[in-house]
Copies of this chain bind each other. A is one copy, B any other.
Amino acid sequence: MSQTIDFYFDFSSPYGYFARHGVDALSARTGRDIVWKPIMIGSAFKASGNQPLMSQPLKGPYSVHDWERMGRLYNISWQLPDPFPIAALAPARAFYWIEATRDAEVARNYAMAVFDTYFGKGIDISSREVAADLGQLHGIPRAEFLKAIDDPIWKGRLKEETDKAIARGVFGSPFFIVDGEAFWGFDRIPMLEEWIRRGGW
């Protein structure tokens, strides 16, 4: 059994952003590597019949308020970007390309920068130019980057990862799978840790 934690998220997910700030510590506490898996949550929503939080009466305003208080509680920079939500195709495709052509560490650092640019600074990371700028900051030439995100191979890879996630039951972001056991949501990190500590129950 692989000693990892699969971390599914969408770059447009606020709770995914807060989880992004917690997974390194989670890795340290559990001794497990985190496998970062950006997906297109819109496809999972289609499969599950869910709607984006912002479009839901009552739950939308609650969520906006919740993100603000989470930012304050955890001392994590937060702003509600405009536009929000977005289809973050460019950085998600780039993630898998970077992971395959560089390594998981560079891809992870890139992913953290994408999240922080969107929710920390409010900059639209679905823009190809912004996504490429962030790549450049991580030593990835712009031209190469822009070519990769239009390449059918990386378009297909993102779709494939999303389809595989849905097949594994993923319907939200963040969503964790550890030793085959699924945990949905930022709030479930403590239970996930308990699962690892006990080896299930």
Residue A138 CB within 8 A of the other chain:
no
Residues of B within 8 A of A107 (CB): none
Residue A57 CB within 8 A of the other chain:
yes
* Contacts A73-B191, A187-B187 given; does A171 touch B50 at CB 8 Å: no
Instruction: Give A184 Cβ to nearest chain B Cβ, in Å.
Output: 6
Picked from B47, B56, B194, the residue with its CB within 8 Å of the CB of A58 is B47
Residue A83 CB within 8 A of the other chain:
no
Q: Are A58 and B171 in contact (CB under 8 A)?
A: yes
| Binary interface encoding of chain A residues 96-125 relative to chain B, with 1 for a CB under 8 A from any of its CBs, else 0 | 000000000000000000000000000000
**Copies held by the complex:** 2
Looking at A44, A69, A166, the one whose CB has the most chain B CB atoms below 10 A away is A69
Interface residues on A, range: 20 to 34
Instruction: Give A76 Cβ to nearest chain B Cβ, in Å.
Output: 13
A65–B49 CA distance with the chains assembled, in angstroms: 19
In the complex formed, the residue of B with least CB distance to A61 is B169
Q: Which of A33-47 contact B (CB under 8 A)?
A: 44, 47
Residue A72 CB within 8 A of the other chain:
yes
Residue A27 CB within 8 A of the other chain:
no
Residues of B within 8 A of A172 (CB): 59
Residue A182 CB within 8 A of the other chain:
yes
Q: Which of A167-201 contact B (CB under 8 A)?
A: 169-172, 182, 184-185, 187-188, 190-191, 194, 201
**A-B contact list, 25 entries, CB within 8 Å:** A47-B58, A48-B58, A48-B59, A49-B51, A50-B56, A50-B59, A56-B171, A57-B171, A58-B166, A58-B169, A58-B170, A59-B171, A59-B172, A61-B169, A62-B182, A62-B184, A65-B182, A69-B201, A73-B191, A73-B194, A73-B201, A185-B187, A187-B187, A187-B188, A190-B190
